[in-house]
Structure 1
Amino acid sequence: MPFNLPILLTWLRIVAIPLLIALYFLPASWLTQHERDLFATLLFIAAAVTDWADGYLARKLGQTSAFGAFLDPVADKLMVAAALIVLVQLGRIDAIIATIIIGREITISALREWMAKIGAARSVAVSMLGKVKTVAQMTAIPLLLYHVPLFGIDVARYGNWLIWLAALLTLWSMGYYLHMAWPEIAKRTADEA
């Protein structure tokens, strides 16, 4: 297993997951709800920044690796799933939103793995639609974690709009990826029949 700065940043993102969850299970006398929300928001934003930084540094330093390419999206999906579950627990999003987003990530990850195994990974390469979904999701989550107005802006309301938009884009992008993979799926199914 290679170890370098980009992979270290990815591992730090994974380590941040239990920290994010633990913030909400600390005794009430240790942190106020606002302090928990603030620290969780900052932790999530830091994780999002390391997501960008690890990819950039891997390319810039020539430290890309198959292990890093595997670990990076796993860390992203785990961090998002943990944050969504925390938000459901806090009553800030509906469970259906978390189910849609987490379910899509599992489905598309499995689809990509299968397509790579059969040599057709290009059919399900990341699309612009997937990137827009990610931006909406990664903007919504910190807004929903922070939750209270900031400089007079109702961040919770904007976070809610964005997370619903992310859920719709999630379904749309899942349909897109499945559509792109369908010819290969149909061909394999016919071959096995």
Structure 2
Amino acid sequence: MCMQLMVAATLILLCTKPMDAIVFGPVPWLVTVPSIAIIGREITMSAVREWAASQNGKLSKAVAVNSLGKWKTATQMIALTILLASRDSSFERLLPSGIGLLYVSAGLSIWSLVVYMRQIMRVLLKK
């Protein structure tokens, strides 16, 4: 939970000062769009995991951490590191790769949310 709060805080702080993408110029929504997807997924999964823990063991297994979530976290951490480093002018050429990885991470976030929701539906429909 602590890591999700740090990620959300970092994303929000990155959104407060729009980045000047070398290729695109100033684009205020460039980081905001994937940030909304990532933070929304984290809030949803935290609530679903809390709810699943109060129900039964089968639901808890349906929302257990999987390898897709680990890939999401890895790309997210690398993207955030690059984006934070690119605030320094000597590393600003890394900005496109950081933004690209952030979008990959957002895609993995949505994909993993869909996977978790399908697993939950399978368990609930078997009742």
Shorter-chain TM-score tier? 0.7 to 0.9
Query: How much has 1:94 moved relative to structure 2?
Result: 2.9
Large movers: runs of 4+ above 2 Å: 183-188
Are the counterparts in 2 of residues 149 and 156 from structure 1 also a CA contact under 8 Å?
no
Contact 2:68/2:112 (<8 A) preserved: yes
1:82 counterpart residue number: 9
| Rounded Cα–Cα distance in structure 1 between residues aligned with 2:111 and 2:90 | 31
Matches within 5 A, 1:66-145: 74-92=1-19, 93-119=30-56, 120-145=59-84
> Is the 2:31–2:99 Cα contact (8 Å) retained in structure 1?
no
Greater Rg, structure 1 or structure 2?
Answer: 1
Shift of 1:127: 0.7
TM normalised by structure 2 equals 0.81
Residue identity (%): 37
Deviation at 1:75, TM superposition (A): 0.7
User: For residues 179 and 166 of structure 1, what CA distance do their matches in structure 2 show?
Assistant: 20
TM-score, with length taken from structure 1:
0.55
Counterpart residue identity of residue 183, structure 1: R
The 5 Å alignment of 1:159-174 reads 159-174=98-113
Query: 2:121 matched to which residue of 1?
Result: 182
Corresponding letter in the other structure for 2:50: E
Q: Judge conservation of contact 2:75–2:104 (CA < 8 Å) in 1.
A: yes
Higher relative contact order (CA 8 A, sep 6+): 2
Q: Residue deviations 1:92-132, cap 9 Å, x none?
A: 34322111000000111111111111112011110100000
Deviation at 1:185, TM superposition (A): 3.8
CA distance in 1: counterparts of 2:81 and 2:90, whole angstroms:
13
- Gaps spanning 5+ residues in structure 2: where? 20-29
The one-letter code matched in structure 1 to 2:33 is I
